């Protein structure tokens, strides 16, 4: 039996096998969702989330929480709020004997395993209870690229000196790649991409320049 949520598995574990198999498609599980005591600027956060999840169901190419949460889940707010799994309070799993267990009845070892160790070796996760975090109504995002000809070496070096010392509200993710050079025709060059999320408006971000 293969367990598939969003189907985004890079290795294809959720949908490839050398022997005959069937797939349990968990994306259809996204049917119920409850938010306790949460109100945001007068409208119900619950309605917003349910609408979002309905969209996710329609777009089956979307990363699913089944794999994302059970595998750990990093994101652009992780410096401030940790990994996705750091915000999971409880879970429900059905084990090989058909028992439905929560965190208390499965025990901390199994709970640990399905919040970072990958879910499918252990059972089918039916539900996660998560802690939501507060995000300011205005955030700042930007994406800057620099090639070798644009001082990439020094900039990457500087990034490595400051990235972990910036306030936790600032997340700067750097990826390195290779692109065609715009200066030397027919040649390639290195490129660094800096993708940034700041939990606040640009006025608050600029002093950190």
Ligand X SMILES: Cc1cc2nc3c(=O)[nH]c(=O)nc-3n(C[C@H](O)[C@H](O)[C@H](O)COP(=O)(O)OP(=O)(O)OC[C@H]3O[C@@H](n4cnc5c(N)ncnc54)[C@H](O)[C@@H]3O)c2cc1C
Q: Name the residues that contact ligand NAG, by CB under 6 A.
A: 52, 55-56, 58-59, 62, 151, 154-155, 158, 180, 186
Nearest-angstrom CA–CA distance, 172 and 159: 9
Nearest-angstrom CA–CA distance, 187 and 183: 9
Which one of ligand NAG, ligand X, none interacts with residue 130, CB within 5 to 8 A by kind? Answer: none
Neighbour count for residue 42 (Cβ, 10 Å): 5
Considering only residues 71 to 90 of the shown chain, the ones binding ligand X according to CB under 6 A are 71, 73-75
State yes or no: residue 9 binds ligand X (CB under 6 A).
yes
Annotate 49-76 with b (16+ C-beta within 10 A) or e (fewer). Answer: ebeeeeebeeeeebebbbbbbbbebeeb
Sheet holding 100-101, edge to edge: 100-101, 88-94, 124-130
Query: Taking the complex as a whole, how short is the minimal distance between the CB of residue 147 and ligand X, in angstroms?
Result: 24
Which range, of 38-46, 62-70, 135-143, 171-179, touches ligand X by CB under 6 A? Answer: 62-70
Alpha carbon distances (Å) from 63 to 4, 9, 108, 109, 198: 11, 9, 26, 26, 23
User: Considering only residues 10, 22, 43, 157, which one is a binding residue for ligand X as defined by CB under 6 A?
Assistant: 10
Of 15 and 52, nearer to ligand NAG (C-beta) is: 52
The backbone torsions φ and ψ at residue 35, rounded to the nearest 5 degrees and listed phi first, read -120, 125
Of 68 and 103, nearer to ligand NAG (C-beta) is: 68
Pairing of β 170-180 and β 188-198: antiparallel
State yes or no: residue 110 binds ligand X (CB under 6 A).
no
Query: Taking the complex as a whole, how short is the minimal distance between the CB of residue 54 and ligand NAG, in angstroms?
Result: 9
29: left (phi over 0), alpha (psi -120 to 50) or beta: alpha
Which one of ligand X, ligand NAG, none interacts with residue 142, CB within 5 to 8 A by kind? Answer: none
Which one of ligand X, ligand NAG, none interacts with residue 154, CB within 5 to 8 A by kind? Answer: ligand NAG
Contact 28, 124 (CB under 8 A): no
State yes or no: residue 115 binds ligand X (CB under 6 A).
no
Of 121 and 151, nearer to ligand NAG (C-beta) is: 151
Q: What is the contact surface with ligand X in residues (CB under 6 A)?
A: 3-10, 13-14, 26, 63-64, 66-68, 70-71, 73-75, 118-120, 124-125
């Amino acid at each position: 039996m293969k367990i598939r949520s969003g189907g985004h598995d890079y290795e294809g574990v959720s949908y490839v096998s050398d022997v005959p198999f069937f797939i349990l498609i968990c994306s259809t599980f996204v049917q119920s969702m409850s938010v306790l005591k949460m109100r945001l600027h007068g409208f119900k956060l619950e309605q917003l989330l349910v609408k979002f999840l309905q969209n996710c169901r329609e777009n089956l190419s979307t990363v699913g929480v089944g794999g994302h949460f059970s595998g750990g889940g990093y994101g652009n707010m992780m410096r401030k709020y940790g990994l996705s799994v750091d915000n999971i309070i409880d879970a429900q799993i059905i084990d090989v004997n058909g028992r439905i267990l929560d965190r208390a009845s499965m025990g901390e070892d199994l709970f640990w395993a399905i919040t970072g160790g990958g879910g499918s070796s252990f059972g089918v996760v039916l539900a996660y209870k998560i802690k939501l975090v507060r995000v300011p109504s205005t955030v700042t995002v930007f994406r800057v690229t620099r090639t070798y000809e644009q001082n990439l070496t020094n900039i990457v070096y500087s990034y490595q000196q400051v990235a972990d010392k910036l306030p936790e509200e600032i997340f700067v993710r750097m990826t390195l790649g290779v692109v065609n050079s715009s200066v030397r025709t027919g040649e390639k060059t290195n490129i660094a991409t800096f993708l940034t999320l700041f939990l606040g408006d640009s006025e608050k971000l600029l002093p950190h320049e």
